Amino acid sequence: MDGRNVDRDVGRSLGKNLWMARRCAGYSQEALGTLCGLHRTEIGFVENGERLPRVDTLLKLSGALEVSVEKLLDGIEWIVPGPQVGGSFVVRNPA
């Protein structure tokens, strides 16, 4: 890990979405990495839920795969915190 906090459920959901989009596009991790200017291992870390990508990386991935960022984030949403409680993420299974 690189020290950033990773919500495991969010990481797994984003990783699954990325894996599915990459496979549908017919790219290997290495080929996608080359298109995005990323190392193959970075693609693997994201797909395995070990790392959450920065916004610029997410945009590179969605552009190379020709899918929307929303598609990669499908099933992930932020729950706004109440007045006394911290917010949290919720991962929903896409229908």
Instruction: Tell me the pLDDT tens digit for each residue of 13-37.
Output: 999 999 999 999 999 999 999 999 9
Ramachandran area for residue 9 (φ above 0: left; ψ -120 to 50: alpha; else beta) = alpha
- Residue length of the chain: 95
Taken in order of first residue, the domains within the chain and their CATH numbers are 8-91 (1.10.260.40)
Produce one character per residue of 28-38: b if its CB has 16 or more CB atoms within 10 Å, e if not: ebeebbeebeb
Q: What pLDDT shows up at residue 80?
A: 74
**Chain CA centroid to CA 27, Å:** 16
Instruction: Tell me the pLDDT tens digit for each residue of 51-93.
Output: 999 999 999 999 999 999 999 999 998 877 766 666 677 787 7
How many whole angstroms separate alpha carbon 17 and alpha carbon 14?
A: 5
On the CB side of 66, how many CA atoms lie within 13 Å of its CA? 5
